[in-house]
A and B are shown apart, each in its own frame.
Chain A
Amino acid sequence: MPEIDVHDRPALLEARRLAYARNDEPIFGPLDFVLHAGEVVLIEGDNGAGKTTLLRVLSGLLEPTSGDVLLDGEPLTLSKLSHQVALLGHQPGLKGDLTALENLRFAAGLGGLRAGISPATALAGVGLEGFADVPTRQLSAGQKKRVALARVLLAPVGLWLLDEPYANLDLEGIKLVNRLLELHARRGGAALITSHGAYAFTSGTPRRIPLRATHAPGASP
Chain B
Amino acid sequence: MKPGSTFAACTALVRRDFTLIWRRRGDALNPILFALIVVALFPFALGPEPENLRRIAAGIVFVALLLSGLLALDTLFRGDYEDGSLEQLVLSPHPLALLLACKVAVHWLTTALPLLVVAPLLAEMLNLPHGVLPVLLTALALATPLLSLIGAVCVALTVGMRRSGMLLALLVLPLYVPVLIFGAGACNAAQAGLAYLAPLLWLGAGLVLAVVLAPLACAAALKISLS
Contact = CB atoms under 8 A, between A and B. Distances in A.
A79 interface: yes
A94 B19 CA distance: 14
B9 interface: yes
Interface in A161-188: none
A61 B227 contact: yes
A87 B87 contact: yes
Contacts of A95: 16, 20, 79, 83, 85
A97 B20 CA distance: 6
A63 B88 CA distance: 17
A82 B4 CA distance: 13
B221 to A, nearest CB: 15
Contacts of A82: 91-93
Contacts of B94: 110
A156 B85 contact: no
Interface in B87-139: 87-94, 99
A83 B9 CA distance: 13
Contacts of B26: none
Given A62-B227, A102-B16, A106-B13, A111 B84 contact: no
A61 B16 contact: no
Interface in B1-31: 1-4, 8-9, 11-13, 15-16, 19-20, 23-24
A110 B83 contact: no
Interface string A10-29: 00000000000000000000
A109 B9 contact: yes
A85 B12 CA distance: 20
B170 interface: no
Contact of B12 (A87, A93, A105): A105
A76 interface: no
A94 B91 CA distance: 15
A85 B92 CA distance: 9
A49 interface: no
Contacts of A9: none
For the side of the interface on A, what is the size category? 35 or more
Contacts of B9: 109-111
Given A85-B91, A110-B13, A156 B19 contact: no
A113 B82 CA distance: 25
Contacts of A92: 83-84
A110 B12 contact: yes
Contact of B83 (A61, A91, A105): A91
B4 A108 contact: yes
Contact of A110 (B82, B92, B226): B92
Given A83-B93, A94-B83, 18 more contacts: A61-B87, A85-B91, A87-B87, A89-B84, A91-B84, A91-B87, A94-B84, A95-B16, A95-B85, A102-B16, A106-B12, A109-B4, A109-B11, A110-B92, A113-B4, A115-B1, A156-B2, A157-B1
Question: Which 9 pairs of residues, A with B, have the shortest CB-CB distance?
Answer: A109-B12, A91-B84, A112-B3, A93-B84, A156-B1, A112-B4, A97-B23, A106-B16, A83-B93
30 contacts: A62-B227, A63-B227, A83-B93, A91-B83, A92-B83, A92-B84, A94-B83, A94-B85, A95-B16, A95-B85, A96-B83, A97-B20, A97-B23, A97-B24, A98-B23, A102-B16, A106-B15, A106-B16, A108-B4, A108-B12, A109-B15, A110-B9, A110-B12, A110-B88, A111-B3, A111-B91, A112-B4, A113-B4, A115-B1, A158-B1
